[in-house]
């Protein structure tokens, strides 16, 4: 894992977590655009179908505020970058 990746925060970690970055042995996707831009998503153990579909991630800073979700999906089939698709309720 390169140095830039180690400095990133993982989606779902607490802001006061002393180690909010990626953990060795885990698989991550970089979230690009939208309210979660720059965070890493831990996809360790996800199956191929889930990785193709992407995810709706709970966020309070999206268009719908608390309880809203930001939709992210793979840029291409083998991409480690997931692009923002929009916010949903």
pLDDT digits (tens, 9 = 90+) for 16-62: 899 999 999 999 999 999 999 999 999 999 999 999 999 999 999 89
Tokens for 48? 């191929």
Tokens for 57? 């991630």
Confidence of residue 1 (pLDDT cuts 50, 70, 90): low
Query: Do 55 and 41 contact (CB within 8 A), yes or no?
Result: yes
How much is the pLDDT for 4? 57
How much is the pLDDT for 7? 79
Output the pTM of the full model: 0.88
DSSP secondary structure code for residue 9 in this structure: P
How much is the pLDDT for 15? 82
């Amino acid at each position: 894992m390169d140095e830039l990746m180690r400095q990133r925060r993982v989606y779902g970690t607490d802001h006061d977590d002393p180690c909010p970055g990626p953990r060795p042995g885990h698989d991550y996707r970089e979230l690009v655009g939208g309210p979660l831009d720059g965070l890493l998503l831990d996809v360790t153990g996800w199956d191929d179908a889930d990785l193709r579909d992407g995810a709706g991630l709970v966020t309070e800073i999206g268009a719908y505020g608390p309880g809203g979700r930001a939709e992210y999906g793979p840029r291409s089939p083998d991409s480690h970058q997931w692009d923002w698709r929009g916010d949903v309720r």
